[in-house]
Structure 1
Amino acid sequence: MKKLSDRPADSVADDARLAYRSGVAARLAGLSAETLRVWERRYGLSDAERSTSGQRLYSAEQVRRLGLLKQLVDQGHAIGVLARLPIEQLQELAGPRASDVQAAGPLRVAVIGDGLARRIAAAGREGAELAVQCSCSRLEHATSLPKDAGVELLLVELSELVESALPLIVSAREACGAAAVVVLYRFCASATIRALRAQNCLVARIPAELGELVLLCRLAIAGERLPPQERSEVPEVRFDEELLFTITAAGNRLVCECPRHLADLLLMVGSFERYSAQCASRNEDDAQLHQELHHAAGRARAILEIAMERLARAEGLPLPARSQVT
């Protein structure tokens, strides 16, 4: 990996405005941070720069490539083959939907939200990629935005994004004649996010860096959606109920009561994991919620099982069959 400090100052300045930390790059590409690390380690996907502190920094082009790889892997292509292909071939494989997000010239935007227009104006060269044509501080005042401002994109920032904002955002888009909408939030219900996306809005958490915001705006203009965030797999159950009951009984003979308490926690979390997978759903939103609960319970159970194995080894308690031979 190349060090930013080894490069000419002018080159670093030019690239800095397009540098995304690994967590941001993974999120924009729809990958988990863990998957990105594995892909980098096994396949050397991108020649990412490193900051002076040693942190990986990805250019907008590299983020674009990661997004194409994620899309093609989801379609069934092997990452080991894709990793060797240049971005042009990935683009051809992905088809016309994977359009280029690096449009020429600044985007003409209308901005709604306290402080957002000022942050863009104060951002120097990065801010120059977003040309603010008009703005207002509150969503309720958006219908007063001029229709003749030549706006391409409506950019809305709301810390708390609630369901009642949906019709106001739709009205604001119509008022300023924007072709695309980006809605930024800090806290929002999943159902509200899905409702906005059904209106062809690109919805994302308020980014920490303006460079990420610029890329989100480019994605919205290109007619693309953020890929769904990849979920890490939940390991299968290792400590079944029979083994946990055995540990509970054995733990009663020990001075330390942690094995018994941890076994009780695992029994409870495992029971909820199974229950959330079978719980009746009233509608699509409810079904999605229960899927998320099932996944969260599974991850919690897996973490507790790691702790239980360490504790069982230390106390000489029964272990799962696979652990006994490793």
Structure 2
Amino acid sequence: MMKISEVKDVAGPSYRSGVAARLAGLSVETLRVWERRYGVCDTERSEHGQRLYSAPQVRRLGMLKQLVDNGHPIGMLAGLSSEQLEAMALGAGAAQTMQSGPIRLAVVGEGLARRIAAAGRDGLDLYVQRSCPGLEQVPRQLAGVLSDVLLIEMSEPDDQALPLLVAARDSVGVQAVVVLYRFCSSATIRSMRAQGFLVARVPAEPGELVLLCRAALAGNKLALPERPVQQVAPPRYDEAELATLTTARNGVECECPRHLAEILMMVGSFERYSAQCAARNDDDASLHRELGHAAGLARTMLEGAMARLVQAENLPVRAAADERD
């Protein structure tokens, strides 16, 4: 019986803990608890001491997350082999499909096809059989292609694209359809899902794209969240501390501390305001949660910069310790 600690691909891509957790649909805190209590990962470390996860380890973490969400205890799952986890998560037939070779793709979007081709080792699990620039060309250029997944990239899909998406699916022999977008209304996303499409934002990394395609083939969106969600840390600085920074004397020959403190107050205020909007308006709740989440991520990044500035210039507020792997 093989544990995850024995499944390593030192020649493959390596992901830091935050990226690995996001790809697997986990919070970093949950990943650390699983490592400490159940030994789910025996990771390599970078020269700076940060944990590094291989692509097989990330895939395994994603399956563990799926099965835990379905009610299986992590203590029982941690000792199972990857083959056993795949059989539990997807069924024997789906697991066999996943292991038989690269996922065959019919791709709509020349830029997407080029990114997959340029992904190197990260894209080895994907094979583009044929591609075309847009949905209008699918019946003519992709008709009859027998692929596993029809992968479509549309920056801003709307309701008018839905008939073209359905026609594209019907003209290509595929098991699943994945639609990638950058901005899209909640109503349009619901309409696409109603057609059985897996809908997600354009992923930042090839490894994410592989997991999305596998999730679509499995017919189970729990294998990867529709939009990988990065956890937002609580505020490091309160309003009083930021106000102090707007008037603090420092050794920097500019007003960056004041400007950064003012930006942080503004971003934090918008984050709280979005939470209020999400609570009082059911129709726009999803949009406002997304706005608040984006503001929270921006605040977290800016607070990291402020913490470095506070420490470097000995400014008169506490400097929260940065989390390290």
Q: Partner letter of residue 22 of structure 1? A: Y
Partners of 1:40 and 1:46 within 8 A in 2: yes
Partners of 1:121 and 1:127 within 8 A in 2: no
Q: What RMSD over aligned residues (CA atoms) do the two structures have, in Å?
A: 5.3
Q: Partner letter of residue 291 of structure 1? A: R
SS in 2 for 1:178: coil
Match of 1:140 in 2: 136
Match of 2:155 in 1: 160
- Report % sequence identity: 48
Partners of 1:259 and 1:312 within 8 A in 2: no
State whether structure 2 residue 177 is matched by structure 1 residue 181. yes
Q: Partner letter of residue 224 of structure 2? A: P
State whether structure 2 residue 63 is matched by structure 1 residue 68. yes
Match of 2:224 in 1: 227
Q: How many residues align?
A: 300
- TM-superposed CA distance for 1:78, in Å, is 6.9
SS in 2 for 1:293: helix
Q: Partner letter of residue 279 of structure 1? A: C
Partners of 2:125 and 2:210 within 8 A in 1: no
Q: Partner letter of residue 168 of structure 1? A: L
SS in 2 for 1:234: coil
Q: Deviations over 1:169-204 (max 9, x none)?
A: 11111122433112345x333635554344322345
Match of 1:289 in 2: 287
Q: Deviations over 1:223-265 (max 9, x none)?
A: 1225222431431565245x656x379x47x577776655544
SS in 2 for 1:235: coil
Q: Partner letter of residue 231 of structure 2? A: S
| Separation of aligned partners in 2, 1:301 and 1:136 | 40
Partners of 1:102 and 1:218 within 8 A in 2: yes
Q: Deviations over 1:28-61 (max 9, x none)?
A: 4223568657755775423457899x9945244x
SS in 2 for 1:279: helix
| Separation of aligned partners in 1, 2:291 and 2:166 | 31
Residues 318 and 29 of structure 1, relative CA distance in 2, 3 Å threshold = closer
Partners of 1:50 and 1:56 within 8 A in 2: yes
Q: Partner letter of residue 239 of structure 1? A: D
**Structure label with greater radius of gyration:** 1
State whether structure 2 residue 17 is matched by structure 1 residue 21. no
Partners of 1:20 and 1:212 within 8 A in 2: no
Partners of 1:29 and 1:66 within 8 A in 2: yes
Q: TM-score, normalised by structure 2?
A: 0.63
- TM-superposed CA distance for 1:141, in Å, is 2.0
| Separation of aligned partners in 1, 2:140 and 2:204 | 27
Residues 198 and 315 of structure 1, relative CA distance in 2, 3 Å threshold = same
Residues 176 and 300 of structure 1, relative CA distance in 2, 3 Å threshold = closer
State whether structure 2 residue 103 is matched by structure 1 residue 113. no
| Separation of aligned partners in 1, 2:15 and 2:229 | 15
Residues 115 and 41 of structure 1, relative CA distance in 2, 3 Å threshold = same
Residues 277 and 179 of structure 1, relative CA distance in 2, 3 Å threshold = same
- TM-superposed CA distance for 1:140, in Å, is 0.3
Q: Partner letter of residue 176 of structure 2? A: A
Match of 1:8 in 2: none
Q: Deviations over 1:259-288 (max 9, x none)?
A: 66555444433432322211266564x322
| Separation of aligned partners in 1, 2:118 and 2:300 | 46
State whether structure 2 residue 193 is matched by structure 1 residue 200. no
| Separation of aligned partners in 1, 2:13 and 2:266 | 41
Residues 213 and 258 of structure 1, relative CA distance in 2, 3 Å threshold = closer
Partners of 1:157 and 1:184 within 8 A in 2: yes
Q: Partner letter of residue 21 of structure 1? A: S
Q: TM-score, normalised by structure 1?
A: 0.63
Using the TM superposition, name which of 35-44 and 289-298 deviates more.
Answer: 35-44
Residues 88 and 113 of structure 1, relative CA distance in 2, 3 Å threshold = closer
Residues 232 and 190 of structure 1, relative CA distance in 2, 3 Å threshold = farther
Residues 296 and 310 of structure 1, relative CA distance in 2, 3 Å threshold = same
SS in 1 for 2:155: strand
Residues 222 and 308 of structure 1, relative CA distance in 2, 3 Å threshold = closer
| Separation of aligned partners in 2, 1:136 and 1:58 | 32
Residues 199 and 27 of structure 1, relative CA distance in 2, 3 Å threshold = farther
Residues 170 and 153 of structure 1, relative CA distance in 2, 3 Å threshold = farther
| Separation of aligned partners in 1, 2:68 and 2:125 | 35
Q: Partner letter of residue 169 of structure 2? A: R
Among 270, 275, 278, the residue aligned to 1:277: 275
